[in-house]
A and B are shown apart, each in its own frame.
Chain A
Amino acid sequence: MSVLQTSGLKKYYGTEPVVKAIDGVDFTVESGEFVSIVGSSGSGKSTLLHLLGGLDRPTEGAAWINGKAIFSMKDDELTIFRRRNIGFVFQSYNLVPVLNVEENILLPIALDGDKPDAAFIERVVETLGLSEKRTSMPNQLSGGQQQRVAIARALASKPAIILADEPTGNLDSKSGMDVIGLLKVSGEKFGQTIVLITHNPEIAQMADRTVRIEDGKIVGGAAR
């Protein structure tokens, strides 16, 4: 079953000359897959991720998440849809500084006015090695630990898909491997579909499938 699908996705900027950031991308992600999108800086990979996550609207084309055409939705519908169906992990951890680790993890669920699944959250926190950090504040944590909180937060609401944009960009290579490893391991453990964007081939290679993007176009990929 495909969780994410795009058809003829295009994002152009400016008029003369037109910058074709994304130029006709057809792309499918199956349920439970861990896919990496690899490309150099300026290849259009971050633009693509923003489109996939409904953070930006395309010039042309469509994208479906769990069969729902996201660009047909109004902005406020899309915001709620995003909160319930897409987990984001960015290069900057985007934790709320005045909330502790546990409160940060539960925030998206609280925003939805929902009750957290305590047993599930417990497993997520444990898998990410945060059991002893529950009451710590973000500024007491290392970069790798903060990113692990961000991953836990993304997993907590059991989204249809997690989109990770250079999640190791601010980390040294050791913490980076830790973070990517946990993303991979927890994705497998919780059956979570993940799309990872990176410029680092070593990190990209850890996905089940790698898609290469250049000049806004998909130029190659290897099947699992």
Chain B
Amino acid sequence: MIFGRRRRLLAKLDAMLDEALAGTFDAQNYDESLLSKIEAKTARFLDASRLRREQVEADRERVRALISDISHQTKTPLANVALYTQLLTEQDLTDGQKAIAGQIAAGAEKLNFLIQSLVKASRLESGILKIEPKPGNVYYLIESAANQCAALATAKNIALTAASGEPVTALFDPRWCAEALFNLIDNAVKYTPESGKVDVTVTEYEMFVRVDVTDTGRGIREEDLPKVFTRFWRAAESADSPGAGLGLYLAREIIAACGGYIKAGSEYGRGAVFSAFLSKV
């Protein structure tokens, strides 16, 4: 008798917790029983958790506003710096003055690129930007990314070959993943010496489509491999090359948001392979 009642009570509590976990809990009994008291307290506890969640949402909203302010408010002054530097260089300047104006122009351009990348990164991180993976042809994605790198590759006399063939379907957000892939290919072209090679190839797995970007650059040291996707990380040797250390980080975040992943492999001195795995389901 007693045991039966106790078991029923415990079963009731277990069911209450299941409801709480599912977010459907509602206090049902209002009487002097202990169970009713527990129900009321549970409801209070869940309310407090909900308030905390709403607080987090409000904080995120503030971050969203701040990011949009930063990107918006810096646009005009930065454009002005670039414009007036341009006007300045059109004046009659000494060589020394020209060099200084050139530095200002390069600095402004770098700052602009950095702010753009940072804004993109924080929009991605805070979930402000919705990445929507849809089934699409991977070769089409590769083509649009590789085309954007063609000019730089030609300028450096680098043979950039992009695989093509029968359509291979994977899930990706066309605009964002083209940017991610562009970052991988652009990186490969940037760090490959003149007359080198960059190959983009496709391998189909059961669950993923693998896109490899292989270059003949100097490669990455083994101890640096786990760090290449970190924000602002740059190899010591690359300090002089343009870039902010955000491209690979962004690529990783974008591919991950599409349900895929990214990895790097390299033998130092013999080039690197960056692989994007796009999900098929």
Contacts of A210 on B, CB cut-off 8 Å? 226
**CB of B92 within 8 A of chain A?**
no
B223, B261, B265, B277: the one contacting A202 at CB < 8 Å is B265
Q: Is the CB of B259 within 8 A of A174?
A: no
Number of A-B contacts (CB under 8 A): 57
C-alpha gap A124/B225 in the complex (Å): 30
B18→A175 contact, CB < 8 A: no
Interface size class of A (residues with CB under 8 A): 20 to 34
Among B34-42, B72-80, B109-117, B206-214, the one that faces the other chain is: B206-214
CA distance A169 to B259 in the complex (A): 24
Task: Tell me, rounded to whole Å, the shortest Cβ–Cβ distance linking A211 to chain B.
Answer: 11
Among residues 242 to 281 in chain B, which have CB atoms less than 8 Å away from a CB atom of chain A? 256, 259-261, 263-265, 277, 279-281
Contact at A222–B207, with CB atoms within 8 Å?
no
When C-beta atoms are compared, the residue in chain B nearest to A158 turns out to be: B21
* Contact of A182 with B207 at beta-carbon distance under 8 Å, contacts A129-B281, A205-B263, A206-B263 already known: yes
Once A115-B18, A185-B259 are accepted as A-B contacts, the answer to whether A205 and B206 lie under 8 Å apart by CB is no
Give a binary string over A166-189; 1 marks a CB under 8 Å from any B CB, 0 the rest.
Answer: 000000001101100110110011
Main secondary structure of the interface of A (DSSP, over half): helix
**How far, in whole Å, are A153 and B254 apart by their CA atoms in the complex?**
28
Across-interface contacts of B62 in A (CB, < 8 A): none
Q: Check A224 against B230 for contact (C-beta < 8 Å).
A: yes
The reply to whether A222 and B208 contact each other, CB–CB distance below 8 Å, is no
Is A57 on the interface with B (CB-CB < 8 A)? no
Q: For chain A, residues 106 to 131, give those with C-beta under 8 angstroms from any C-beta of chain B.
A: 115, 117, 126-127, 129, 131
B227 at interface by CB-CB < 8 Å: yes
User: Is A144 an interface residue, CB under 8 A from the partner?
Assistant: yes
Contact A181 B208 (CB under 8 A): yes
Residues of chain B contacted by A83 (CB below 8 angstroms): none
B206 touches A175 (CB 8 A): yes
Q: Is the CB of A20 closer than 8 A to any CB of chain B?
A: no
Per a CB cutoff under 8 Å, which of B21, B206, B223 touches A178?
Answer: B206
State A206–B210 Cα separation when bound (angstroms): 14
In-complex Cβ contact of B207 among A129, A201, A209 (8 A): A129
Looking at the assembled complex, report how far the CB atom of B43 sits from the nearest CB atom of chain A, in whole angstroms: 21
- Min Cβ gap B57→A in Å is 18
Q: Mark A186-224, 1 if CB is under 8 A from B, else 0.
A: 001100000000000110011101100000000000101
Q: Shortest CB–CB separation between residue B60 and chain A, in angstroms? A: 17
Assembled-state Cα–Cα distance A91/B208 (Å): 21
A16 to chain B, nearest CB (A): 39
Kindly identify which residue among B225, B230, B261, B265 contacts A185, using a CB–CB cutoff of 8 Å. Answer: B261
Question: In the complex, what residue of chain A is closest to B210 when comparing beta carbons?
Answer: A177
B277 and A177 form a contact (CB under 8 A):
yes
Instruction: Name 6 interchain pairs, CB-CB below 8 A, sorted by A.
Output: A127-B259, A148-B207, A174-B205, A185-B259, A205-B225, A205-B226
Known contacts A181-B261, A205-B225; 6 additional CB pairs below 8 A are: A129-B280, A148-B207, A177-B210, A181-B260, A202-B265, A205-B264
For the complex of A and B, the 8 pairs showing the least CB-CB separation, nearest first, are A222-B226, A178-B207, A129-B281, A178-B205, A129-B207, A184-B261, A181-B277, A206-B263
